[in-house]
Structure formats: C-alpha cells, structure tokens
Structure 1
Amino acid sequence: MFLRRFEDVGWLHAFLSFLSEVFKPFNAVIIFLVVSVIHYFKKDAHFWLYTIGAGFSLAAGAAMKYIFQRARPDVEHASFDGFSFPSMHVLSFLVLVILLFRISRNIYIRTVLVIMVISMMASRIYLGAHYLTDTVASVIFMALILHVLEAVKNRFQR
C-alpha cells in the first residue's frame, strides 16, 4: 500500500494518528453542535435546513455501515471494530467542515479545511481502518446530500 511507505516518517505518523483521534465521529459531532450554536446566533436563515441535513447524513452513514457490512482491511497491525463502509470519521468530519465553510468565506481557512479533509481520508487509510473507496464514498455521499440541501434551499427561496 502506498501510504505504508511513509511509516518511518515519525511526524507524519503522529499527525495522521492525532487527526483520527481528535476527530473521532463522536468528537466531530460535539464540535459540530458547538459550531452550530454559534452559527444559529449568526441568524442564518438556512440553519435548520443544514442542521437537519447534517443529522440525516450521519444517521444514513451509520445505517449504510450495517446495510453493506464491508469488512475492514486486513492490515496486520490494525485492530478496528465494526464495518468499513463508509468512513464515519470522514463523513462526520465533512459535516463539520461544511458548516465551517458556511461560516467562513476566507480562502485561506477554506484551503486549510480542504487539506484537513484530504488528511483525514489519508489517515483512515494509513491506519488501516478503511479502504480508499470507503473514504471517497463518504465524500461523494456528502456531496449528494449537499446537492439535495441546495435544491431544497432554492425551492424555498422562490
């Protein structure tokens, strides 16, 4: 596996492990709730639409794990419970990042957020918790949810 070639790069291993640990799905949901409260007080007219969309995407992601029941990669040093598809780490992190995208229009912040999403995807593969397809599927699923939310938002604005 390509990412395994970087096992000897101590700072990279530490960073990818740290990212996966800090942004566990539960932690990302807690951070999302805090940011949501801040977002709510900014008087965003579409706050509830995006909050419901976020909740739906997390629930649907969890349901997909049990529908598909894809086994985790067989990596000798990895020991993860549960199913592999889709990556809930990536999905829950994307929920948080999308909310932060709605709050900040700063190109530098957005660039860092995109790099962080790619790093989260890499960390889940590097640690042996997911296949590339699990992480990419989470991104595609979130893109589909966003597309639906934008369509609903546009429908209400007419």
Structure 2
Amino acid sequence: MDRSVYLLLRGFADAGWLEAYLSFLSYIFKPSHAAVIFLIVAVIYYFKKDPHFWLYTIGAGASLAIGAAMKYTFQRARPDVEHAAFDGYSFPSMHVLSFMVLVILLFRLSRNIYVRAVLVFLVISMMISRIYLGAHYLSDTVASVIVIALILHVLEEVKARFSS
C-alpha cells in the first residue's frame, strides 16, 4: 500500500505548482518551526487563562517525546526513491506529528468551522507532502495521526477525571 500511494502521488509530478506547494508546506511546518509556533500558541493559551493549559502543554511535549522515541526504537529506513535523500529514520513522521500537535491546539482556540476545515486540509496536505517528497511512507504519516489521537484521548480522560 505504501508504494502504491507513493506512485499515485508521484503521478502528479508534472504539476510544478503542486510540488512547490507541498515543498513549501513541509518547509514552513518542519518540526523546529512547528515547535516555535507551538510556543507562541502556548503563550496565547496561558494569557487566555485556559484552565487546561498545563495539561495540553505536557501532552504536546509527551507527543513529541513519544514520536522521537518511536523513531529510534523502530529505526525504519526512509523510502528508497530516486528524487529524494533524507537523513534519519522514517517512522513515524515528525513533520506530521508536530504539525498535528499544533493543529489540535489551534482547534481548541477556534470553533470556527472554516478555520477548522482549513486546518484539516493542511494536515492532509502535510501527510501528502511527506509521501510525495519521498520522505515517508503512508504508514509513517498515518501512525503519526494515530499517536496524536491516542494521546489526545488520554488527555481528554485526564481532563474529565480532574474536572469532575
């Protein structure tokens, strides 16, 4: 499945605008940039006096730590594709993981359906970009979303127990 999705996406390689968009997205929201944006959003949370500020901040840090631990535990090689050469391990995608952390925090800040739709579109675009650029397999990006979903579930359970 991983290879099939990659080949499907690379079928659009002639669309220069697509490669430009996906490369830009991967660059702008690379993990180090996402971390800086996360810190800005965290400050906003703090000043909004969000009662769950520390819970979500700890959850975000735990998500990134778990992702990094998984990367070095599994040590899955990057895809072997002719047009790309990336360092490090493939599983899970830290681009998708760190971006999902940011998106979840932004979801909590905005209840606007249009803002949320754009955020979902950007998450899907980030997943596609990592596959299209040859940095990750589909399973790497999906695993990142699953990790975040599980951590978010745990956070919601903790929040419910301490809010009661």
Shorter-chain TM range is over 0.9
Q: TM-score, length-normalised on structure 2?
A: 0.96
Partner residue, 1:136: 142
SS at structure 2 position matched to 1:91: helix
Equivalent of residue 45 in structure 1, options 37, 51, 68: 51
> 1:136: how far off?
0.2
Offset from partner CA, 1:33-89 (integer Å, 9 cap, x none): 011101110111001000000000001101110000000000011110000000000
Aligned equivalents of 2:62, 2:41: Cα separation in 1: 17
Partner residue, 1:25: 31
Equivalent of residue 85 in structure 1, options 78, 88, 91: 91
Partner residue, 1:101: 107
Aligned equivalents of 1:96, 1:113: Cα separation in 2: 10
Aligned equivalents of 2:68, 2:154: Cα separation in 1: 19
Aligned equivalents of 1:97, 1:156: Cα separation in 2: 24
Aligned equivalents of 1:46, 1:128: Cα separation in 2: 37
Q: Aligned AA for 1:47?
A: F
Dislocated runs of 4+, deviation >3 Å: none
Q: Does 1:120 align with 2:126?
A: yes
Q: Aligned AA for 1:118?
A: I
> 1:4: how far off?
0.3
Aligned equivalents of 1:73, 1:67: Cα separation in 2: 18
Aligned equivalents of 1:63, 1:157: Cα separation in 2: 30
Offset from partner CA, 1:83-107 (integer Å, 9 cap, x none): 0000000000000000000000000
- Structure 2 residue ranges without an equivalent (≥5): 1-6
Aligned equivalents of 1:131, 1:118: Cα separation in 2: 14
Aligned equivalents of 1:77, 1:11: Cα separation in 2: 17
> 1:110: how far off?
0.1
RMSD of aligned residue pairs (Cα, Å): 0.4
